[in-house]
Chain A
Amino acid sequence: MYPQCADPAALHGLGWLLCYLTSGKHMLFYYSFGTVLILLAITAPVALAFGFGGAMAARAHNRALSLFGKAYMLMVRGIPDIIFFMFFVIALDQGLETVLHHIRCPDWTDPIRTGLEFKVCPLAKIPPNSAPQIWHQIYGFGLAVVTFAIVFGAFAANVLYGAMNAVPRAQLETAEAYGLSQRQISRRILVPQMWVYALPGLSNLWLILIKATPLLFLLGVNDIVYWAQELGGSKTDSYAYPHGDWRLWYFLFLLFFYLAFTRVSEIALGRLTAKLSRGQATMAGEAMRKAAA
C-alpha cells in the first residue's frame, strides 16, 4: 500500500503494525463491512415487503391465497437456515439457467441433467464463464439478498399477521358500520394501528438479521466474520506478515462493532415505538395521553 511497507520483514513495532493493518487483505476486511451494511439495507425493506405480502395473503378471504400465505410462513420458518442457504440457492440458480437455456438454445439436444451434473448451454450460464469474477460475486450477492428476503420475510409475515389480529376488532367493526370498504379499512384503520404491535417482533428479527450475515460465506460472498477468522488465524512464513493466533483480537473488534450496531438500532427502534404509540389504545399510548393531560 505505502512504499515503506514494501519489505514487511524489515519492519518492526508500530511501523510493522501500521503496514499490517493497511495490507490489501485488511482493506478487503474493511470493505466487507460495507458489503454487510449494503446487504442489510437492501434485505430489510425487501423482507418487510415479503412479510407484508405474506401476512395480507394469509388474511385474505380468498381461500387459495390464504392457504398460500400460511404455507409460506409455515414452510420457510420450519426449514433450517443452513439447508435453505445451501440448497435453495443452487436450486434457484439452476432454475433461472434452465429457463434461459430453453429461451436461448432451443436446438440443444443434450440432456440438462445427467446423474449429479447440471449442464446448460454456455449461452444460458448466469453469468457466463468468461465474465469477470466481480459479476459472479454480484450475482451471488443478488441470490443472497433474495434468499435472505424469503427467509426473513416468512418470519416477518408471521409477526405482521399476529399484529394485524391484535388490532381491536371493535375498531374494524366501527369502520364497517361507517360504510368503509375492506380496502379502506385495511389502509386507514388496520395497517396504521398494527405497527405498534408488530414492532417488538420486527426489532427482534432485525437484530437476528444483523447477526446472520456469516451465512453469506456459503454463497461465496466473504463477510466480516470470514475475514476476521482468516486474518486472525495464525500465519506461517508463507505470508508476508507471520503472526500467532490473533483471532481473539479480531473477534473482540467484531463484538464491539455488533454491540455498537445493535445499540444504535435499539435507540432508533425505541424512538420509532414512542412515535407509533402516540394516540394508540395501548398501555404506552395511554401513559402518553395521561402525561400530556
Chain B
Amino acid sequence: MKKLVLATALAALSAVAANAQDTVRIATEGLYPPYNLVNDAGKLDGYEIDLGTEICKRAALTCEFVQNDWDSMMPNLNSGNFDVIMAGMSITEERKADRLFTQNYYPPAISLYVAATADVDLTSSVIAAQTATIQASHVAESGAQLLEFKTPDETVAAVRNGEADAVLADSEFLDPIVAQSNGELVVVDKVQLGGGVGAAFRQSDTELAAKFDKAIGEMKADGTINTLITKWFKDKAVLF
C-alpha cells in the first residue's frame, strides 16, 4: 500500500508537464543585493535575475530562478537539482577545477575592508567574511584571523557588535551599507580579487554553458549589459 501511494505520488510529480520543453533552472542565493535579493513582494530580484532573464530570451530558453542555500549550491548542481548558478560567484582557478564558468558578466570585483574605526591592523585582527567566498580565502591567506558567517548580512553585523574588527566583502555590497551607516562604518582598504563574476555549470554541460557565454558576449558588444549594471549598481557600477 505504502509503495503504491509512493509510486503514484512520484508518477504524478514527474508527469507534470513532462513533455514541455525542458526548463533551465537557475539557482541564486537571494541574500546578496544588488546581485540577487528577495524583494519586498517576496520575489527573487536583482542584477542577476534581470541578466539571466535577458540571456534566456536571447538564447530562446525557458528559464526559472530558484533560491538555494549557498553552502549546498555545488552538491545540488552536481546532483541535477538545478542547471546553472548565478549567485555572485567569482571566477577563480580553484573553482574552475570542478565546474564550468562563462565569461564574466561583472568585472573583477573590488573588495573592501570595512571597520568601525580606520586604524585597524588588517594583518593581525579578526576579519569577518562569508563562508566559502574568495574573500574568506583571501583573509585566511593574509594571516589575519578569519571569522566565517553563513550570510553576508551577518558579517556586517559582526563588525557592528564588535565580534570582528573588520569585514571583507564585495564593494557593491558594502558601499551602500557604509554610505547609509551615519559614519558608524568606514572603508579601511581595497583589494581586487578573482576574475569577475560568472555563471557556473556542471562540467558536462558544455552546450548550455556555450549558449549562455554567447548571449553574454552579445550583450557586452551591444552595451545592454552596461545598462543593466547601471540600473542595479547605480553610481558604484564598474562597467565593461
Contacts and interface: CB of A to CB of B under 8 A. Distances in A.
Interface in B26-68: 31, 33-34, 37-43, 46, 62, 64, 66-68
Interface of B: 9-10, 13-14, 16-18, 20-25, 31, 33-34, 37-43, 46, 62, 64, 66-69, 71-72, 75-76, 78-81, 83, 98, 151, 153, 156-157, 160, 176-177, 180, 202-204, 232
Contacts of A240: 39-40
B69 A96 contact: no
Interface stretch (A124-132, A203-211, A271-279): A124-132
Interface residues of A, number: 54
A42 interface: no
Please give me the 10 A-B residue pairs with the lowest Cβ-Cβ distance, nearest first.
Answer: A24-B41, A233-B153, A24-B42, A236-B176, A238-B33, A130-B23, A23-B40, A240-B40, A131-B16, A28-B42
A256 B181 CA distance: 30
B203 A115 contact: yes
Given A233-B153, A247-B157, A90 B76 contact: yes
Interface in A1-46: 8, 23-25, 27-28
A130 B42 contact: no
Contacts of B232: 238
A200 interface: no
Interface in A114-128: 114-120, 122-128
A118 B64 CA distance: 21
A126 B156 CA distance: 38
Contacts of B203: 115, 117
Interface of A: 8, 23-25, 27-28, 86, 90, 93-94, 96-97, 100, 114-120, 122-133, 135-136, 138-139, 142, 217-218, 220, 222, 229-230, 233-234, 236-242, 245, 247
Contacts of A94: 79
B31 A135 contact: no
A130 B16 CA distance: 8
Contact of B66 (A96, A133, A237): A133
Contact of B69 (A25, A117, A130, A218): A218
Contacts of B71: 218
Residue of A25, A119, A128, A132 contacting most chain B CB atoms (<10 Å): A128
A114 B37 CA distance: 33
A224 B3 CA distance: 32
Contact of B180 (A132, A229, A236): A236
18 contacts: A25-B38, A118-B78, A125-B14, A127-B13, A129-B22, A132-B16, A133-B64, A136-B66, A136-B81, A220-B68, A220-B69, A229-B151, A236-B177, A237-B180, A238-B33, A239-B40, A241-B40, A242-B180
